[in-house]
Chains A and B, each alone.
Chain A
Amino acid sequence: MSAMLLNKEKWPEFVKKLTGKNLWAPKLDGEAMRFAPVAEGEEVSLDYGNTRVPPKGATFPQTETMYRFLVGNMEIEEPKMDEELVLLGVRPCDARAMKIIEKLFRWDYDDPYYLKRRELVTLVGLACTEPGLNCFCSSVGGAPDSSEGLDLLIYDLGDRFLLEAVTVKGETLIAETKELLTDSDASAVKAKDKLMADAGAKIRRTVDHDGIPEGLPGLWEDPLWKSVSASCIGCGTCTYLCPTCHCFDIQDEVEGFEGRRCRMWDSCMFEEYTLHTSGHNTRPTRRERTRNRINHKYNYFVDKFDVIACVGCGRCINLCPVNIDIVEILRRVKEAL
């Protein structure tokens, strides 16, 4: 795969080239960064930590129409899904997350919606140089410069960017912007290595998950679950902001006599997530739900797909209203083993 250099002066031009392709990039939306469409000529700054909401919606929208129907009529109309999308500035953890959940959507059944969107999207990553307060990617198999899931990875070397193609889609992007790029050199590679080593060293939080996936079943009835969940208010912040959480609900929305079937993000932290029609709830309290969240990421997913379904982005820690801290929970799990 090729590696190229982009002089920062040419960055606006580079962005402009991409805007021909339905380009989305992080933009300030109120107080936080959020992926949003970039209009032609609009500036894109790569000076940001991470978006508040992960870009998983590009492949797994929060609300997605599956088909439309008329009440009392058996015919359905499927939505059209053919628009390509380029996400510029995806952090390695978030791209890794997309790759991780893709395993599920390809598992026993190929999910046409997810896979089609995955096919249509090109992920241009941005390696981290200033990890956030609660980042712990390197503890869970990621890194500030992990290229997993990305098509192209950009390193900010100060006065220039180093672009490394990861996939064919990435190569294509490089080919399409060739006239703006120059070949990489040894000094660039050296600078990159130094930058990434520094970035890795700046990661302050760590998780020692050794033994956790195998040990969690044994802690099923451990009092720690009650203790760590007591203050949970049962909102969906941790799961909705998690780049690997992928649970969805399917609902029919009917207005008048016209309707659509759609799927939307759901959260295992909601009470009605496991509520049966009978009134029985298999996870009746926040204790079971919190236990499930940890187990799902650090046990079930590992068991099934051999990878931890947590990329250490720290969002759930940053934004939990009551300071439920997954690093802290994992520390206590480890202690209890």
Chain B
Amino acid sequence: MSDNYEPNIVAFLCNWCSYAGADLAGTSRVQYPANIQVIRVMCSGRVNPLYVMNALQQGADGVLVSGCHPGDCHYMEGNFYARRRLGMLKDLMEFVGVDPKRFHMSWVSASEGHKWKEVVEKTVEDAREAGPFEGFRRRQIDW
């Protein structure tokens, strides 16, 4: 691992809570690491767990999925589905030997700009500890 290694994080945020929370962090000028790039989806329930695998395969060193707190889902139940699906995926990936530090899930509400910062910092820090995930890269092999 080189000293100037910067982990590449892909994050999936629900439109109503977490994306709004990240926007709030912006309007509040909260500073956090630039390693994170956000893909907006309407609901955390939209996040196919295989996106996580796909992101790791395609160059991400860490993945974050964030949605509304339980009970606050704009679509009532989407985050509950996300929780079950991604919980399963996390177990599966850990069993296959993917460092659990590479994948996090969080609940960040529209009013939690500061929590968003904390979540990003934790995700980046953990991915940094886990190091580059080159072994699983799609193009690493006979590309």
Q: Which A residues are within 8 Å of any B CB, using their own CB?
A: 63, 65, 68, 255-256, 258, 260
Contact = CB atoms under 8 A, between A and B. Distances in A.
Interface in B99-143: 138-139, 142-143
A301 to B, nearest CB: 30
Contacts of B142: 63, 65
Given A63-B142, A65-B143, A260-B143, 7 more contacts: A65-B142, A68-B143, A255-B58, A255-B138, A255-B139, A256-B58, A258-B139
A255 B140 CA distance: 12
10 contacts: A63-B142, A65-B142, A65-B143, A68-B143, A255-B58, A255-B138, A255-B139, A256-B58, A258-B139, A260-B143
Contacts, number: 10
B114 to A, nearest CB: 33
Nearest to B139: A255
A260 B142 CA distance: 11
In terms of DSSP, what is the predominant structure of the interface of chain B?
loop
**The 10 residue pairs across chains A and B that have the minimum distance between CB atoms:** A255-B58, A255-B138, A260-B143, A255-B139, A63-B142, A65-B142, A65-B143, A68-B143, A256-B58, A258-B139
Nearest to B138: A255
A65 B138 CA distance: 14
Nearest to A260: B143
A250 to B, nearest CB: 16
Contacts of B138: 255
A321 B139 CA distance: 33
- Interface size classification for chain B: under 10
Most buried by A among B58, B138, B139, B142: B142
A171 to B, nearest CB: 33
Contacts of A255: 58, 138-139
Contacts of A258: 139
Contacts of A260: 143
Contacts of B58: 255-256
A65, A68, A255, A256: residue with the most chain B Cβ atoms closer than 10 Å: A255
A295 B21 CA distance: 64
A180 to B, nearest CB: 35
A258 B59 CA distance: 13
B41 to A, nearest CB: 20
Nearest to A64: B142
Nearest to B137: A255
A336 B11 CA distance: 63
A68 B139 CA distance: 12
Nearest to A259: B143
A3 to B, nearest CB: 39
A255 B59 CA distance: 10
A65 B139 CA distance: 12
Contacts of A256: 58
Contacts of A65: 142-143
A65 B142 CA distance: 8
A40 B139 CA distance: 28
B10 to A, nearest CB: 13
A36 to B, nearest CB: 15
A157 B58 CA distance: 52
Contacts of B143: 65, 68, 260
A264 to B, nearest CB: 11
B21 to A, nearest CB: 28
Interface string B4-29: 00000000000000000000000000
B55 to A, nearest CB: 12
Nearest to B57: A255
A63 B142 CA distance: 9
Contacts of A68: 143
Nearest to A61: B142
A57 to B, nearest CB: 12
A63 B138 CA distance: 13
A274 B138 CA distance: 28
Contacts of A63: 142
A255 B138 CA distance: 9
A77 to B, nearest CB: 11
A256 B58 CA distance: 9
B90 to A, nearest CB: 25
A63 B139 CA distance: 13
